Structure 1
Amino acid sequence: MSTPTKKRELLRDKKNGKIAGICAGIANYFGWEVWLVRIVVVTSFIFGQGFTLILYIAAWFILDEKPKSATNDSHEPVELKTKVWQAGAPPHGAFREISGDYNDLESRLQSMETYVTSNAYKLDRELNRL
């Protein structure tokens, strides 16, 4: 029997927010870090020609505020952060994990390039055309 999934709602989180709790609410909804959402929003404010400001103010009026009882003060399980960069580990550890992920992707890309440039790929493609 599977457990029912809790419906996520996009709500303003004024407790963890700086101005209106919009960034904190977006971060809670998508499971991202709040500081990352704030950096994206501030960058968008700078380069967005005012469009982001309009969206922010609209979200301030449209989104409901997160109720006080919806915090993790209850006995709900807390989601553990599994990635190094999520857990707030030192930058060296985060760099090592990201570098490992990048090296894995690089090796996969090299194997794909090797296959695409090989005679086996040309033969497979010709056989599929028949």
Structure 2
Amino acid sequence: MSSVKRELFRDPKRGKIAGVCAGLSDYFNMELWLVRILVITAVLLSGGPLFVVAYIACWFILDTKPVTQAHKTSSAYSSQDEDPISVKFKVWQKGEPPRRALFDLKERLTRLDTRVQSMETYVTSSEFTVSREINKL
């Protein structure tokens, strides 16, 4: 498991009012519609003022999402900086659709297989043996 530092930001591009719910959905890795329903339910069940004040406070306190934190497309992977493929198992979790995730996984495994084949070709070549013998001297 990788320990990626997550930060809470507002995302006004995906938000309806100020992007607080969109930021919360990114932070907790939940679908945006579910976060909105939870916030509306909390406002209605609590009488309103507490969560409305908390939303407005988050609006002013939270920074907007930087451009570098924007959602990366799954086809833009490089060999050094690969994002993990996340498949949503439940409807409220965010992630790649299963078909796309399997396609991306197949592409990554094909690239990995090609790299392993090229390493195997080099290791079994006479060039590698000569180079290893020279390094031993």
* TM bracket, shorter-chain basis: 0.5 to 0.7
**Where has structure 1 moved over 3 Å in runs of 4 or more?**
73-76, 86-89
Listed as ranges, the matches of 1:1-130 within 5 Å are 5-49=3-47, 50-73=49-72, 75=77, 77=83, 79-85=85-91, 86=93
Structure 1 unaligned blocks of 5 or more: 90-130
Q: Secondary structure at the match of 1:39?
A: helix
Contact residue 72 and residue 78 of structure 1 kept, 8 A: no
Give the CA RMSD over aligned residues. 2.6
Structure 2's unaligned 5+ residue stretches are 98-137
C-alpha distance after superposition, 1:9-57 (max 9, x if no partner): 0110112111111011111111111111100111112122211000000
Q: Tell me the secondary structure at the aligned position of residue 19 of structure 1.
A: coil
Q: Distance in 2 between matches of 1:29 and 1:23?
A: 10
Alpha carbons 2:12, 2:19 under 8 Å: kept: yes
Higher relative contact order (CA 8 A, sep 6+): 2
Q: Please state how far the C-alpha of 1:70 moved relative to its aligned partner.
A: 1.4
What is the distance in 1 between the residues matched to 2:84 and 2:22? 17
TM-score of the superposed pair, with normalisation by structure 1: 0.57
Compared with structure 1, are the counterparts of its residues 79 and 37 closer, same or farther at alpha carbon in structure 2 (3 Å cutoff)? farther
CA deviation vs aligned residue, 1:68-92 (integer Å, no higher than 9, x gap): 2311237452642231424799xxx
